[in-house]
Structure 1
Amino acid sequence: MAVTVACRPGCVLQRTFSWPTASFPRSDSSKTCREPLFLISIERYAKDLGFAVFFPEAIHASDSIYDATVSDGDCKLRVTIHPSLNTLVEKNELRCGCQLRNVTFSHVTGSEDRNDGDGCPTYRVVNLEVDVEASCDAGLQAFSGMDLDTLPWFGQEGDKQPSLLPLRARRGSYLPMWNNQDYYGEMWRECPPIDPRANSESDSCEDTEDLQPTVTLQEVRRAYLCRSRVIKGILIVRILRKSRLFYYGKAERNCECPYKAVLEVADKSGQATVVLWNSLCMDWYRCVHPGSILKLARYRVKESYNSRTGQKAKDDIEISLNSRNPSADISIILETDVLPQWHLPHTPFTFYCGKEILSCPVGSTCDVIGLVVFVGRTERTRNKDGQGTELWEYRWLRLEDGTTDQPIMVKLFSTSQPEIHSNIHPMSILVCTNVQLVRVTPDRSTSFQYLTNTSLTQVYCTGSGHHSAMSYRRLRPVRRFIQWVQTVDENHLFGRAIIGGFFTYPPLPVSLEQYMRNRNGEPGLVSGGELRREVENLQYRESRMFAIQATVNAVTYTRSGEEEDCSAITDWPTQSTPSAAYPRIPVTCLSPPSSITLSPKSPRLKVRQGPLRCGRSPKRRLFRSAEPPKKRLALPLHSSQHTDSDEDADRDFSLWEASMEFLKKNEEEEDSDDEEDEEDSSSSTSMVTAPSSPLSPHRLQLGLARAARETVPRQFCPQRRVVQTAAVGLQPGRLQATLPIAKLDTFAPADCYDGHYTLTLRALIDGVVVDALFLPCGPGNLHWCPYPHSHNNSWEAILSHGSFSPSSPPPAPSDLIAMATQLTSQRLVCVLEVCQLGGGKTEMVLIRAFPLRD
């Protein structure tokens, strides 16, 4: 039966498919669209047992499948990206807003279609070309001023919508684009689901349930240990701690909602673990929080997971809540409805200030509150416990609380709170609960510590009202911190508040011997060819550290604001050494227009004033208000050339206002404050031709000769905090949330960044050339603190410490360029921090370079 397509005359997709007069006569037929299309959304999910039916020739592809929405400007079409093209997505080359050409569609037959019979034709994209000559913002420009939600769906009648579920697997929801720990999609409830029995006519079941006695956790435990087959009774418990989401979806399983979440609960008789399984996570995970009171019935009791696996367990049982066998009954009890005889415990908190953290033993778990002064860019790292297949998102944060000069460093991974994480910015007040102390000792005289996640870590941030609902507001450590915040000189803090850019912590040792000793069995040195192959395998924003043996062929310096031009290159004769198994290669001297030029008569450098920083570049309004991101994503697009301001509607920003979240009290809290304070303080096929990798085997040079925009740290701009926070984040999966590629350039570089050196390295074994950025830190730099050991500021000392000497003024760039001959024929072990920035850009930063002694 033909379907009427509500498309405008001249619709590219309609011409491609000749719809409805022609269709695909065979399952292996295909249609190629030669005209440009735009990618306006992309969504990820895990494959299941049906994957071999859809893609029999791609069974060895990655575990992810991607559904995308393409548009010609007249209508839009949901498609599945063939798994042989996954690499383009994983490297962020195929991204929202890009322009596509020669897109080849393959029709999905009825036996393969999992679109639940909604009448919409479904297709696979088996080949495509990303138009690299088009602007990276081609999609933003093409749909400027348009509301994408009003575009008709190709193949749908009227206002009918296609299925929101994954097209090629039986999964109940999509996954986040870049991790497995967050929830994603509208099917994750914000409010408790309505009990379907509430309007049923069979009241007998409810009456029977109401007659069940209320039991304690101790009684449930005793009954289970006595091998009681049936444990009946209503449990009323308070949530003490809440875990992140655990995703266990596998290709060999067909579970639609493979999630679980762990809640640590307690009543007057003790503590236990409650586990939410599968679809109950989608219904309840966002609705319950530490401090919530739950009423539970129709649960199952099991031996705890840690006990079953022989691990040390503080709880010997766990209460399992599932949607069937039996169907768990869950409800939330308001604090005002709590009966005194229940004697429910308070939510425990253990807040440590920055000074106390310095003396805590390694592995200690605590809660911390602080004022954020630095928010790093989001990066990703391999999860070693998951056989290296899963990537975890993390950011570095720096907090201050006024108790010590040393900042509180936090390596924050995802906590399944995406809305809160997207609101973390400098000058916000952040609470991190159940974080663990890690201490690193690169040598015997120096140690560095930071806090990082446990499975139970939760974070709360100002700006969205999270603090006002939490009971920790009444604790003395929190009150003392708020008193300190209200005395802080905001102008002083604004001057050093930083967001984004390259950052690494903790510092590496200053000797080669100690560095190799601290690797703890990890692979050692790699050749240039091995480094190239490893870089090819990196995914978007994945960060890894490598070490290679190399010599330095050239040194350049680029001033802040002139990253688009190479500033200066010095070269020296390359002398043959017994260890250099390659011919001498001369270095070309370049002198393009730049901020620094090398005089042919003197090693002194002439410095010209660079352009003014772009803190007040032309702006446009991307978001109409400072609402949470989930409410902003549906707004119509605007052209990247739009000249309106993109500042937030809420231009006022004050630490005093932020601290007021902690001082707002409900009426029922007034009388019990003092008493509670005392208590709490104690406690592919032949037709699929994916583009070749930008790092082909014939390319022997790696890295960027100048810093990418993502490398440069930025001054925090409070009036544009929402846009700035989004600009340093990961590539979104929807065009409505995508920013112009150069949006970061509208924010001024941080004061700590004056420029960068580029060292051109040549691998000793195979001659592969690497351009590595070098960002030495110096005295007074609070962002990149120098290593505490003093040295003579020679090139060898600076490279082995990664910084200038903390006890003397750093040499000027002109002097360092003049001293670069110190590196002539010097063999070095170079430690590189490598990050795949996406779109074919690979950032390589030189962290350390240790001299090799004969």
Structure 2
Amino acid sequence: MAALSASSSECCTLKKTLNRLISNTSDSPRARTRSEPLYVISLERYGRDADFGLRFPDSISMSDSLFDATITDGDCKIRVSLDPAVNRLISVNKLHCGSVIRHVEFSRGEASDGDGGSFHVCSLEVDRLSGGDAALRALSSVNVRSIPWMGAEPSSGPLRARRSSYLPLWNNHDFNGEVWRDTPPSEPDAEDSEDEIDEISLNSRNPTAQITIIPKNQISPDWVLPDLPHSFICGQELPSCPQGHICDVIGVVIFVGRPERVRRKDGQRSEVEEYRWLQLADRTSDKPIMIKLFSTSQPDIQSRIYPSTGSHPVMPYRGIRPIRQFLHWLKQVDESSLLERAVIGGYFSYPPLPVSLHNFMENRQGEAGLISGGEMKLECEKLNYREKRQFALQCVITAACYHHRERVIAVSLFPADFSLFDGAMEFLVGEQEDDSNDEDDDEEFSTLPTSPMTSRLGLTRVAIETLPRVFCYERRHIQAVAVGLQVNNFHKLLPQRELESFSPASCYTGYFTLSVKADLIATANQLTNQRLLCVLDACALGEEKMELVLNRAFPLR
């Protein structure tokens, strides 16, 4: 490879560094940038090939994914592959689109592998001292898309795998990329016989689904088609449905939760699935319909769900009685009143935990029992970005301070004698109805309403991602990005504080900051009549921010 043009290399960090690399004749040439900043303007993920172990022998167990990144110094840009050794920085969202990186070490692609013209990042340092919006500020006067490529424009596919598409950063169910988008639909195989086709594909591309709607009066009895009845039930009927019952519901979306992730294990591998909570209102109940929607089907549609009544396209089940009743009710609803109480984002937990310790322990269903504060800290450090887990541990509150929306009020202060895990807890206070249907005595438990809490793992005040926000219809697209997961492209990037431009929901009035002694298993005898069993929800918010939520607290006698 010839040295890159020197016309502008004197002021271009990338050209200076990579020219040094190209001119290096050693067997394993590498070149490192110094303290000059580089900016990550795109980050793309894809699955590894079967020969991954041959190409990355030292990284065989690190990840099932590989990443390509586009980086720039403001004068030129280059697309590079990332060594699997930096995958952990991406999985916890410490390295992301918009990151400032320094001391970046490059190597050349192997000619024997067919990627001798590409570059590989072996290591890097993420600059967190510059602030989360440093890249946005530095490139504010630059049209990032028009920054010239250093050398020839790279191919649009993955650099280190024989694949034609990319995966989204945070789930495995929404293929994307220029090749995937621009490839013409595949044609059916002429050799396929009718007996060999046993799968119906509803893909939007490759292969494109061919769907023909046949009017009901043209369906022949000779086809012996199975009945496909809809089983619509209303919100009032849901509580009486048996476990595992499959049904259809219809309602107006009044709450859209923030996207979160949970780890699923199928016996062979562990995969992190993306989901979000929805609340739907219908005419039949004061309590909303709760839906936990996983991003395993139509993730593009899921990302565009907003609180509102929206439009009502032609529905084949429109004539069903529950649907007719719902649509009739919807015509009489004041849409503005629904939007006024619509909420998006923030911490949310469902279903509510039992109010007695006995029932709580019975419902653990084989989950791990109590852990120490030190063990919990280690488990929290293993969480991926927006991954959520629940822990139960013994602790005692040593200090409490209430933070109103306008002022701070000291509630009580106790001597603090911290053990292995010293944390500051923050949680919201809002309106919450008592669970009058529970037969247990209320005196058996202590709890506080919806309660985001943050440990000293990274935060000292409530995180902006923790607060539910008033839905803003006029800015719904921006709000959805602000509430959503980290984007992978610079032109989608928002300032980190953009979420604060949306008002907190009316249910939020303030929060408590609690200091706790949370490693009590070894000191239980010293804490008689003061111990609590606390159920904590942990969610990694990225960039070393750990949200801990006090979900329920049980006194231990």
TM (norm. structure 1) is 0.56
Question: Is the contact made by 1:529 and 1:766 (CA closer than 8 Å) also made in structure 2?
Answer: no
Residue number in structure 1 paired with 2:348 = 503
Q: 1:487 maps to which residue? A: 332
Q: RMSD of aligned C-alpha atoms?
A: 3.5
Write the distance in 1 (CA, Å) between the matches of 2:496 and 2:157. 30
**Equivalent residue runs for 1:689-700 within 5 Å:** none
Q: Distance between the aligned counterparts of 2:131 and 2:459, measured in 1? A: 20
Cα deviation 1:632-673 (Å, max 9, x = unaligned) = xxxxxxxxxxxxxxxxxxxxxxxxxxxxxxxxxxxxxxxxxx
How do residues 552-591 of structure 1 correspond to structure 2 at under 5 angstroms? 552-560=397-405, 568=410, 570-573=412-415
1:511 CA drift (Å):
1.7
- Select 2:464's aligned residue among 709, 724, 727: 709
Residues in 1 aligned to 2:294 and 2:110: alpha-carbon distance in whole angstroms: 42
Cα displacement (A) at 1:142: 2.4
| Residues 1:51 and 2:47 aligned together | no
- For residues 130 and 416 of structure 2, the distance between their equivalents in structure 1, rounded to whole angstroms, comes to 41
What is the 5 A alignment of 1:597-616? none
Question: What stretches of structure 1 of length at least 5 have no aligned partner?
Answer: 198-204, 210-230, 236-271, 289-330, 430-461, 589-699, 769-822
Partner of 2:32: 32
Cα shift readout 1:345-387 (whole Å, capped 9, x = no counterpart): 5864322221232322221111211101111111000013255
SS in 1 for 2:460: coil
Answering whether residue 174 of structure 2 is matched by residue 182 of structure 1, we say yes
How far apart in 1 are the matches of 2:267 and 2:294?
16
Aligned to 1:667: none
Matched, 1:377 2:219: no
8 Å contact kept, 1:54–1:168:
no
The one of 393, 396, 400 aligned to 1:551: 396
Counterpart of 1:220 in structure 2 is none
The alpha-carbon distance between structure 1 residues 573 and 67, as it changes in their structure 2 partners (threshold 3 A), is closer
Does the 8 Å CA contact 1:58/1:83 hold for their aligned counterparts? yes
- Over residues 789-809 of structure 1, what are the superposed CA-to-partner deviations in whole Å (9 max), with x where a residue is unaligned? xxxxxxxxxxxxxxxxxxxxx
2: CA distance between counterparts of 1:491 and 1:469?
24
CA distance in 1 between counterparts of 2:406 and 2:498 reads 15
Deviation at 1:194, TM superposition (A): 6.2
8 Å CA contact retained: 2:106, 2:119? yes
d(CA) in 1 for partners of 2:553, 2:170: 32
In structure 2, distance between residues paired with 1:393 and 1:333: 32
Check 1:27–1:378 CA distance in 2 against 1; reply closer, same or farther (3 A cut). Answer: farther
Alignment correspondent of 1:274: 199
User: SS at the partner of 1:174?
Assistant: coil
CA separation in 2, counterparts of 1:24 and 1:190?
39
Listed as ranges, the matches of 1:441-840 within 5 Å are 462=311, 468=313, 470-560=315-405, 568=410, 570-573=412-415, 701-702=456-457, 704-765=459-520, 826-840=530-544
CA distance in 2 between counterparts of 1:481 and 1:713 reads 28
Report the equivalent of 1:696: none
1:324-335 matched pairs, under 5 angstroms: 331-333=210-212
Residues in 1 aligned to 2:314 and 2:114: alpha-carbon distance in whole angstroms: 46
Deviations, residues 710-729 of structure 1 (Å, cap 9, x unaligned): 00000111111111111100
3-state secondary structure, aligned to 2:23:
coil
Q: Secondary structure at the match of 2:41?
A: strand
Q: Could you say if the C-alpha distance between residues 350 and 766 of structure 1 is closer, same or farther in structure 2, counting changes exceeding 3 Å?
A: closer
Task: Check the 8 A contact 2:62/2:85 in 1, yes or no.
Answer: yes
Which of 235, 239, 243 is the matching residue for 1:358?
Answer: 239
Q: Gaps spanning 5+ residues in structure 2: where?
A: 425-454
Q: Which residue of 2 aligns with 1:773?
A: none
Determine whether 1:149 maps to 2:141: no
Identity %: 46
> Offset at 1:113?
3.6
Equivalent-residue separation in structure 2 for 1:352 and 1:527 (angstroms): 44
Greater Cα offset, 480-489 or 92-101 = 480-489
Q: Distance in 2 between matches of 1:138 and 1:573?
A: 41
Is the 8 Å Cα contact of residues 32 and 102 (structure 1) preserved in structure 2? Answer: yes
CA contact (8 A) 1:378 1:395 kept: yes
TM (norm. structure 2) is 0.84
What CA distance in whole angstroms lies between the structure 2 residues aligned with 1:836 and 1:125? 26
Cα deviations across residues 100-136 of structure 1 (Å, max 9, x unaligned)? Answer: 111111111201344xx8xxx3122111111111121
Residues 37, 192 of structure 1: alpha-carbon distance in 2 compared, 3 angstrom cutoff: closer
Q: What is the one-letter code of the residue matched to 2:49?
A: D
Quote the residue 2:431 is aligned against: none
**Alignment partners' CA distance in 2, 1:722 and 1:478:** 29
Give the structure 2 partner of residue 392 of structure 1.
273
Q: Which residue of 2 aligns with 1:414?
A: 295
Deviation of the 1:3 alpha carbon = 7.0
The 3-state SS of whatever aligns with 2:389 is strand
Distance between the aligned counterparts of 2:362 and 2:534, measured in 1? Answer: 16
- Asked whether the equivalents of residues 7 and 75 of structure 1 are also in contact (C-alpha less than 8 Å), the reply is no
Choose 1 or 2 for highest CA Rg. Answer: 1
Residue in 1 aligned with 2:126? 130
Q: Distance in 2 between matches of 1:373 and 1:381?
A: 24
The match for 2:438 is none
Q: 1:283 aligns with which of 178, 183, 206?
A: 206
Which residue pairs with 2:551 in the alignment?
847
Maintained 8 Å contact 2:390/2:538: yes
Distance 1:196 1:499, change over 3 A: closer
Residue identity opposite 1:568 in structure 2:
A
8 Å CA contact 1:27–1:107 kept in 2: the answer is: no
8 Å CA contact retained: 1:557, 1:757: yes
- Taking the aligned partners of 1:843 and 1:60, their CA distance within structure 2 comes to 28
Are residues 847 and 339 of structure 1, via their aligned partners in 2, closer, same or farther at CA, if it must alter by over 3 Å? closer
Whether the 8 Å contact between 1:552 and 1:824 is mirrored in structure 2 is no
Give the distance between the partners of 1:570 and 1:824, measured in 2 at CA. 20
User: Deviation per CA, 1:201-247, whole angstroms, max 9, x where unpaired?
Assistant: xxxx8xxx8xxxxxxxxxxxxxxxxxxxxx94489xxxxxxxxxxxx
Q: Secondary structure at the match of 1:111?
A: helix
Q: How does 1:39-438 map to 2 (within 5 A)?
A: 39-114=40-115, 121-144=117-140, 146-156=142-152, 161-188=153-180, 193=185, 195=187, 232-233=193-194, 274=199, 282-284=205-207, 287-288=208-209, 331-333=210-212, 348-385=229-266, 389-428=270-309
The structural deviation recorded for 1:77 is: 0.9
- Identify the range of structure 1 (175-184 vs 389-398) with the bigger mean alpha-carbon deviation: 175-184
* 1:405 partner amino acid: D
**403 and 852 in structure 1: CA distance in 2 versus 1, 3 angstrom threshold:** same
Shift of 1:426: 1.0
Q: State how far apart, in whole Å, the 2-side matches of 1:734 and 1:574 are.
A: 45
Mapped partners of 1:514, 1:64: distance in 2: 41
